[in-house]
Amino acid sequence: MIIMRIARHRLLASTLLATLVGCGGERTDIVVDKPQSDAALRYSDVSWATVLRENVTDGLVRYDHLAEHAEPLDTYLAILADTGPETTPETFPTREDKLCYYINAYNAFMLQAVLVSDVPGSMHNTDLGNPDHRFRTMIDGQRRTLDDIRKLAMQHAEGDARVYLTLCDAALGSPPIQSTPLRSTGLEEQLRKTAQRAMDNHALVTIDHVEQWLLVGSAILDHAEAFVNQYQKRTNAGSASLHDVVVHQAGAVRRQWLNTAVGYSVHRIPFDRRLNHWGRANQSE
């Protein structure tokens, strides 16, 4: 067992507890100090909205700025520790309330994991394993991994495959993080726009006319059956393909271009493991 204490400049001190969980693997427990006030006893996503507004640009994260101004992130995580669908169910009466809670919790926790990892070049280093299993923190009264939160989000998604596109695992090859919290009011429109942005994103959907391939990112291809099933239910289509899904959910201009790939075979876009760091992604090669 390894115990270490990390203090980040202008951040609340965080305690990291790493314990052996498998052959050559460690799990890190992230403990965020609670605010002095009773704010953590009441759920609010105001601090999360501040994090996103001040640190997300074009789906990328300004981690350097976040590391210097992370008090709102620590505040939001402290709120998540003591509130949630299980701990304070009266605050989350609907399926939409619960779903938004877990989506926002996942994305906030992932940002914190990047910070305590000292903003690496990639959170998906093959030697370290999937970040969904490497970290735990207190969410809704229980210590949970990112994978635990992802599963809870998908449980409340009730088959809505678009929810996969709201969960950003801090890589350029994953769905981009949104600049506003997901909220239960107007959720359907938010999910529609999220799916459209994903289908319009060349990192997630593109075409190779030479090979006659429709190229699709892992966030979509790994859940192709769920996307197709949802499309069939919503359109009453007797049969459907992944091409039908991406065309249906894309924007009007993009839809015309994707229709030039009718009959193409579907292939995977290699996953870009690089950190979704605004400063690094916008530097010249």
Length reported for the chain: 285
Mean pLDDT (whole number) for 121-145: 90
Burial 131-163, CB ≥16 within 10 A → b, else e: bbbbbbbbbbeeebbbbbbbebbbebbeebbbb
Q: Is the pLDDT reported for residue 284 higher than 50?
A: no
Contacts of 54 (CB under 8 A, 6+ apart): 62, 65, 66, 69, 72
Q: Is the pLDDT reported for residue 4 higher than 50?
A: no
Helix (H) / strand (E) containing 19: strand 14-22
pLDDT for position 281: 61
Residue bearing the bigger pLDDT, 51 or 31: 51
Q: Please report which confidence band the pLDDT of residue 186 belongs to, taking 50, 70 and 90 as the band edges.
A: very high
Q: Are 252 and 237 in contact (CB under 8 A)?
A: no
Q: Please report which confidence band the pLDDT of residue 23 belongs to, taking 50, 70 and 90 as the band edges.
A: very low
Residue pointed to by tokens 């350097």: 64
pLDDT for position 40: 53
Residue bearing the bigger pLDDT, 246 or 29: 246
Q: What is the average pLDDT value for the chain, to the nearest integer? A: 88
For residue 261 the two structure tokens come to 């790939």
pLDDT for position 99: 98
CA 149 – CA 101 distance, rounded (Å): 10
Residue bearing the bigger pLDDT, 173 or 35: 173
CA 227 – CA 160 distance, rounded (Å): 8
Residue bearing the bigger pLDDT, 20 or 267: 267
Amino acid at 172: L
pLDDT for position 17: 45
Amino acid at 108: A
CA 52 – CA 135 distance, rounded (Å): 21
Q: Is the pLDDT reported for residue 57 higher than 90?
A: yes
- Domain boundaries along the sequence of the chain: 2-182, 205-268
pLDDT for position 15: 40
pLDDT for position 197: 95
Q: Is the pLDDT reported for residue 68 higher than 60?
A: yes
CA 142 – CA 76 distance, rounded (Å): 16
CA 136 – CA 147 distance, rounded (Å): 9
Query: Which segment of 25-29, 44-48, 95-99 scores lowest on mean pLDDT?
Result: 25-29
Q: Is the pLDDT reported for residue 42 higher than 80?
A: yes
Q: Is the pLDDT reported for residue 26 higher than 80?
A: no
